[in-house]
Structure 1
Amino acid sequence: MTVAKYHRPLNSEQLAVLNWLYKSRFSTSKQIAKHLGKPSHKAIQNKLQILEEQGYISKRYQPSYKLAGRAAEYFLTPKGARTLPPDSTNEWAIKALYKNKTVSPDFIAHCLNVADIALQLQALYGDKLRLFTKSSMVAYSYFPTWKPDLFLSFKPKTRQEAPRRYFLDIWDDTTPFFVSVRKARNYITYAEEGEWPTDEYALPTVLAVCQDAKTQKKLMGQIKRALDEKYITDEVTFATVTREQLDKTTGTAKLWQKIDDDDEDSGRMSL
C-alpha cells in the first residue's frame, strides 16, 4: 500500500501567493515578491518551488525565455484555487484556470501588464483602495459583460461622501487598437442600458492606461467622437494616463486627463 506523503498545512504567505495568482491569473516571481512586500524575488523562490511541487501552482517557461530575458510566468492550478476559502473564489473563474497551459503569449503579457498596474496603484493608495480583478468581478451581475481589467473602489473620506469608483483598462500592444475602441464604446452603451445600481451610486469613471502618448491621443479622438454621437457626456466620464506618467509619479497628483475636456490643465483629475 502506498502511503500518501504528509505536507504541512499552507501558511499565510503561501495562501497569499495563491490568492494573488487567483486574482492576477499570471504573475512573475518579482511581481509576487512585490505583492508580499519582499525586497527580492529570490526571497520567495523556495516558497514557489514548494507550491509547484505540491501542485498548487504551475508555470510557463521555455529555454528561449532565458535568452529573451523573460521571466517564468506562474499561474494557479484548479487544486490551488480550491484550497482558498470558498467565499473568496468563483466556479467560473476556477474553470478558466484549466486554459492556463494553452492561452496565447499576448494574453499572458496583458495579465502581467495588469498585475504591474495593480501593484503600482496599491503602492500609491494603500488601504484607501479596494481593487478587484476580473476573477472577482464575475461574481457580480451588474458589471459590464465585457469587464474592465480592474475595478477600483476608494473608501469615502466621510460618511456623507459617496465612494469613488472606476473601471480601468490597460491599452497595450497585446490587443488591436480597434478592439480597444470597441470596448470603450461598449462602456457608453453600458451607461445607457447597463445594470449598474445608479440609484445608489454614480456610474464609475472609465480609466485607460495607454502605452504611449500617441495611443493616448488616438484614443481621446475616438472616444470624443463616440460621445458626440451618443450625446451622453454627462452620464459617463473617461480619463486617460500614459504608462510613463504613471511610472514616474510618486504621489496622488492630478495625472488623469479627462477626455471630454479640451483644456489639458483644467481637464486633469486625481483619483
Structure 2
Amino acid sequence: MENITPKQLQILILLYRFRFLNRTQIQQFLNHKSPRRLNNWLKDLTERKILGRNYSTKLKENTKPAVYYLASKSRKILLDLPDINKKVLNRAYRDKNSSQKLIDHSIFVASLYFLIREETKTKKSVLHFFTKTDLVTHYYLPYNRPDAYIAIEKENTTKRYFLEVIDEGTPRFMLRKKILQYIEYFDENTWKKRTLHKNPSLLFICPNQNIKDFLNKYIAQVLEEETSDVQFFLSLKSDILRGGSNSWEIVG
C-alpha cells in the first residue's frame, strides 16, 4: 500500500468524484492557503504515478493551471474505501487518453459547484451536490446519469434538480433522445416511488444560443403533447459563469 497523507487521500477522493480538476480547484476544495504545500503533495502523487497530470508548455497556454486525474496506482489506495465503485475505478487505467472535451466538461462541472456553493452560502441555504460518479450506484436513476443531482435546503423547503451540461457539437438527435428519456423516466414515477419526493427540475446548460433555441422549441413542443409535470430550465454556459442562477429561463 502506498503511504500518503490524509490531505493527499482527500485529493484522490475529489478526483474520483469529479474525474478531472485543475490545481486551482483542488486548492479551493481543500480550502488551503499555501499553494507551495499543495504543489508538493501533487508533485509527490504525480511522480509516484498515483495521479496523472496535464500541463501545456505552449505559449499562452502555460498560464493555465495543470489538470490532474487518477492514475493506475490510485486504484489500490481507493479500492477498499466506502462509497468507492470498483468499475468506476477502472477509469484510472484510461483517463490519460481522455479527450479535451471530457476534461473541459469535468472542469466546468466543478466550477459550477463552486458557483452554486457560494450562492447557497449567501442565501444561508444548505447544498447537497452529487456528481455523476456519486450517482453510479443509485440504480433507480435514469440509465444515463445526469452530470449532477443538486438539492438545496432552506428552512423546511428542499429544491431538487438534475443538471445536464451540453457539450459543443452534440448532435440534435442525441438532445431529442435525452429529453424523451427524461419525460419517460418521470412519467413512470420511478423517482417519486423510490424517494417519496416530487420530481426534480431539469437544468440544461447550453454551449451556444443555437442549441438553447433548439431545446427551448423542442421541449415546449414535447410538453404540449405530454401531461408531464417536469420543469425544464435553460441557460447558456457563458451566462452561468457571468451571472449565476439569475440566468435560468423556464421552458413553456
Instruction: For 1:157, give the aligned amino acid.
Output: E
State whether residues 18 and 80 of structure 1, in contact with CA within 8 Å, keep that contact through their aligned partners in structure 2: yes
**Superposed counterparts of 1:90-105, under 5 Å:** 90-105=85-100
Instruction: For 1:256, give the aligned amino acid.
Output: W
Q: Give ranges in structure 1 of 5+ residues lacking alignment.
A: 1-5, 261-271
Are residue 73 (structure 1) and residue 67 (structure 2) matched?
yes
Find 2:77's aligned residue among 83, 89, 92. 83
Find 2:171's aligned residue among 168, 173, 176. 176
Find 2:233's aligned residue among 231, 235, 239. 239
Secondary structure of 1:101's match? Answer: helix
Aligned residue number for residue 147 of structure 2: 149
Q: CA separation in 1, counterparts of 2:47 and 2:4?
A: 14
Find 1:30's aligned residue among 24, 34, 41. 24
**Superposed counterparts of 1:15-54, under 5 Å:** 15-38=9-32, 44-54=38-48
Are residue 256 (structure 1) and residue 248 (structure 2) matched?
yes
> What TM-score, normalized by structure 1, do the two folds share?
0.79
State whether residues 21 and 69 of structure 2, in contact with CA within 8 Å, keep that contact through their aligned partners in structure 1: yes
Q: CA separation in 1, counterparts of 2:73 and 2:227?
A: 46
Instruction: For 2:205, give the aligned amino acid.
Output: V
Cα deviation 1:118-143 (Å, max 9, x = unaligned):
22222322471111111110111111
State whether residues 77 and 97 of structure 1, in contact with CA within 8 Å, keep that contact through their aligned partners in structure 2: yes
Q: CA separation in 1, counterparts of 2:74 and 2:189?
A: 34
State whether residues 186 and 228 of structure 2, in contact with CA within 8 Å, keep that contact through their aligned partners in structure 1: no
Q: 1:180 to 1:48 in 2, by over 3 A?
A: farther
Q: CA separation in 2, counterparts of 1:123 and 1:16?
A: 21
State whether residues 233 and 249 of structure 2, in contact with CA within 8 Å, keep that contact through their aligned partners in structure 1: yes
Q: CA separation in 1, counterparts of 2:106 and 2:65?
A: 14
Are residue 205 (structure 1) and residue 197 (structure 2) matched?
no
Identity among equivalent positions (%) equals: 26
Cα deviation 1:189-209 (Å, max 9, x = unaligned):
211236323461111111012
Instruction: For 2:100, give the aligned amino acid.
Output: P
Q: 1:259 to 1:108 in 2, by over 3 A?
A: same
Secondary structure of 2:16's match? Answer: helix
Q: CA separation in 2, counterparts of 1:63 and 1:28?
A: 15
Q: CA separation in 1, counterparts of 2:170 and 2:54?
A: 21
Q: 1:142 to 1:217 in 2, by over 3 A?
A: same
> What TM-score, normalized by structure 2, do the two folds share?
0.84
Q: CA separation in 1, counterparts of 2:227 and 2:73?
A: 46
Are residue 217 (structure 1) and residue 213 (structure 2) matched?
yes
Find 1:226's aligned residue among 222, 226, 237. 222
Instruction: For 1:202, give the aligned amino acid.
Output: K
RMSD (Å) for aligned C-alpha atoms: 2.7
Greater Cα shift, 189-198 or 92-101 = 189-198
Are residue 125 (structure 1) and residue 123 (structure 2) matched?
no
Q: Give ranges in structure 2 of 5+ residues lacking alignment.
A: none
Q: CA separation in 2, counterparts of 1:39 and 1:121?
A: 21
